[in-house]
Structure 1
Amino acid sequence: MSPKTSESRSRTGDKRRRMTPARIAVLLLGVLALIFIFENTRDTRIRLLVPEVTMPLWTALLATGLIGALCGAYFMGRRR
């Protein structure tokens, strides 16, 4: 095996740090989602299977977003 040259190492390092259009789009969508979540601050009634709870809407939206992100990360990790 031949040792990696500094040129080949810098190219692989650049690929990981570079801001691609897809990464910019995901970042923009994340910022827009956070703005939407924190603009909705009123209390709302939410039914969780059987009980009904009253909580701020931003809490429910944030929890749902986090659950979705965790599920997405889990399935992308299994894909590799």
Structure 2
Amino acid sequence: MAQTSPDHKARPPFLSRPGVRRFIPFVLITAVALVFIFENRTSVEIRLLVPLVTMPLWGALLIAWGLGMLACFFTVRRRSNRHSRRPG
């Protein structure tokens, strides 16, 4: 059986970790968005600059959601890289 030494630091509870606390809203919003996307199954006409395309509404919503996620990923990644640089 392993003994804990007095200098051993206890790990913080799972839900109080900063990475987990930032991830929870993302998971909740994504779940609600995906339910909304897949509940809209009717076909719609969408104009893509010039062509007129008929496709299921869930497909168009899923494409828009994916593009939004990509934009968010690149924005957050760029911002965190900018702050991690140290002037030298």
Q: TM-score, normalised by structure 1?
A: 0.75
1:75 aligns with 2:75: yes
- The residue type paired with residue 42 of structure 2 is R
- What whole-Å deviation, never above 9, does each CA across 1:10-65 have from its counterpart, x for those lacking one? 56xx8366x32x43222111100000000000100000001100000000000000
List alignment gaps of at least 5 residues for structure 1: none
The 5 Å alignment of 1:1-80 reads: 7=9, 15=17, 19-20=20-21, 22-80=22-80
Matched-pair identity in %? 39
List alignment gaps of at least 5 residues for structure 2: 1-6, 81-88
Distance across 2 between alignment mates of 1:6 and 1:36: 47
Distance across 1 between alignment mates of 2:45 and 2:34: 21
- Rg (Cα) greater in structure: 2
- The residue type paired with residue 53 of structure 1 is V
Larger RCO (alpha carbons 8 Å, 6+ apart)? 1
Alignment length, in residue pairs? 72
Distance across 2 between alignment mates of 1:56 and 1:45: 9
Q: Which has the higher helix share?
A: 1
